[in-house]
Amino acid sequence: MALISVSDFAPSPMEQVERWIDEAKVAQVGEWDSMMVATADQAGVPSARMVLLRGVSKDGFRFYSNYTSRKAIELAVNPMAAIVIYWREQQRQIRATGSVVKLSSEQSVDYWSRRPRESQLSAWASHQSTPVVDRETLEAEVEKVRERFGDRDDIPLPEFWGGYLIIPNEVEFWVHRDDRLHDRLVYRKNSSFVWEIVRLQP
C-alpha cells in the first residue's frame, strides 16, 4: 500500500473525510457509515457506542438520536465527543474530537421525513437507555404507536428526537501497514486558526 502524502490531502479535514467516504463507497465497503461516538458525563466517566453517520459537511459530522438517551444526557452536561470510523476492507480509520451542538429542528425534520416508517415507529416507542421488563413489552409499545398513527404517512418528529453536529477541532487519518509502521496524518488548527497537517508516529 502506498504511503499517504500530505501533498495529496485536501486543505481542510472535512473535505478529506468526504474524499475517503467517496472512495469507501466506490470500493463497496460494508457499513461505511458506521461510526463510534464516545461521550463522557460530568465526572468524566466515558461511554461509547456505534451510531450511523448521517452526513458530513464543512462544519462536521452529523448523527441523530433520542434526546433522553445516555449519550444525549452526557452531551447536555459535557458537549464534547470523540469519534472513530473504521473501514477494515480498506485498512483505514478516521478519528476526530470536537464540540457538539444540536441540529436545527428543520434539519432534524428533513432527515426524519426520509426515515423508513418502521424506524419512525420504533423511535416513538422507545424510551432509549431506560430499563424494560421484557422484549414483549417493548414490541407492545410499538404496536400502540402503530395504532395511534394509523395509516398516516406524515408521522411527526418527536420532540425528544433529533440531530447532532460534531464540530471537529482535530481529525486524524490512519492507514494500516503490515510492519506496524502505520501512516497517521492529523489536522490541527494553528494559532491563526488555520488547519495544518502533522504526521504522527504510529
**Which of the residues 62, 114, 180, 188 is marked catalytic?**
180
> C-alpha 196: how far from its chain's center?
23
Do residues 38 and 47 make contact, with C-beta atoms less than 8 angstroms apart?
yes
Round to whole Å and give the CA distance between 45 and 196: 31
C-alpha pair distances (Å), 174 with each of 2, 3, 49, 160, 177: 13, 11, 21, 36, 10
> C-alpha 126: how far from its chain's center?
20
Asked about 114 being catalytic, the answer comes back as no
| Cell, residue 184 | 497517521
The set of residues, in sequence order, having a beta carbon less than 8 Å from that of 102 and lying 6+ positions away, is 162, 163, 164, 165
42 burial (CB, 10 Å; 0-12 / 13-18 / 19+) is exposed
Beta strand segments in 121-194, E? 161-175, 183-189
Instruction: Identify the bridge partners of residue 139 per DSSP, sorted by sequence position.
Output: none
Which positions are catalytic? 180
